[in-house]
Every structure is written in C-alpha cells, then in structure tokens.
Amino acid sequence: MKLAQLQLDQDGAWLHPVNRLSSPNADARPSDANITLAVIHGISLPPGCYGGGEIQQFFCNTLDYGAHEYFQSLRALRVSAHLLIGRQGDLTQFVSFRRRAWHAGVSSYQGLDHCNDYSIGIELEGTDHEPYMEDQYQALGRVLSLLTWTYPHITRDRIVGHSDIAPGRKTDPGAAFDWQHLNAVLNEC
C-alpha cells in the first residue's frame, strides 16, 4: 500500500486501502461524544517480538494463550484499538473510528475521564525501549493528517501517548517514541 493512496471513507469511519479485521471488543460511543483525542500506544506480543500476528489475534479474541507463557497474563483481557501500525508501516484497522474501541482503560485527559468515549486509539508495534521504525512514523503521520482533517477537534496538542492519559499505570509508547520526529512528519503531510 502506498501512503499517498490512503484515504478515509466519506463517513470518516474506515481507512482504505488497509487490512481490516473486525474486533468484537468495541461498542457504540455515547451519543453526545465528540471525537477529540488521538492516543498513541505501543505493543508487542510477546514483548519484544514482532510480526507474528499475535497482536491481531489478541484484539480479535483468538490468541492461543498456551503458545507463550506471557499470554496467560492476557487471558481475562478484552481490548482493541482502532488501528495497528506494524513495523513496516502496514496498517490493520479493527474498529470503525465512529465506534468506541477498548484501548485506553482507566484514563483521563484534561479532567475528562473515560478517554475511550472520545478518542481514537492507534497502536504501534514496538516497545517502550526500542526505536520505532521510519515506516511507522510515515504511516502514523499520514493517518493523523487524515484524522485531524476529518475530526478537527483532534489538534496537535490532542495527539497524546497512553502514558499521558493513564500516568503511573501505562508507559507506552515509551521513551523510544520520538515526538519531535512525529511533528516533523506531520509538517510534511
């Protein structure tokens, strides 16, 4: 997929062309919720391992919990994100942007709790301590440009990390995520 071809449908719900897997871990946003926040996450399953498809399985409730001892800690969780950006910049959308994905957990931003209600969750395949890939920054920049155009309440200061909305509980996308570089990429989009 060429990033220049990436676009949102007319409802602002789905990206095209991207891989699409439907996660059952989503529901309707509150009727009065406006989409005003983008939350950047980092994930790898098992930690530090990339490209095996386990993240996709986890978000779709099809993960083989016996395949790795770490997976046992995930058994009771039901989570999703709107979008996953793989190490090579590949995109998989799990939930319509118009619906509520279950990515933020207990969270608050600028005094408003329940960030899932009004945010879009974007997972980057990675860890807090390994540099993210240039292809990921380019894909993220293109996605965020489309989202901020479609959802104008998502301004640059409302693009945050999971650690910003759940401090003390979450650390992702971590110290390895280069916010200055993301801003430079956004300036080019």
Q: What is the CA radius of gyration of the chain?
A: 15
* pLDDT tens per residue, range 138-174: 999 999 999 999 999 999 999 999 999 999 999 999 9
Q: Tell the CATH superfamily of the 3-188 domain.
A: Peptidoglycan recognition protein-like (3.40.80.10)
- Residues designated catalytic: 123
Provide the whole-model pTM: 0.96
Question: What's the pLDDT band for 3 if we cut at 50, 70, 90?
Answer: confident
Token couple for 80: 């999703």
Token couple for 112: 């408003």
Give the single-character DSSP code of 108.
E
d(CA 63, CA 53): 9
pLDDT at 60: 98
What average pLDDT does the chain have?
A: 96
Q: What are phi and psi of 188, to 5 degrees?
A: -85, -20
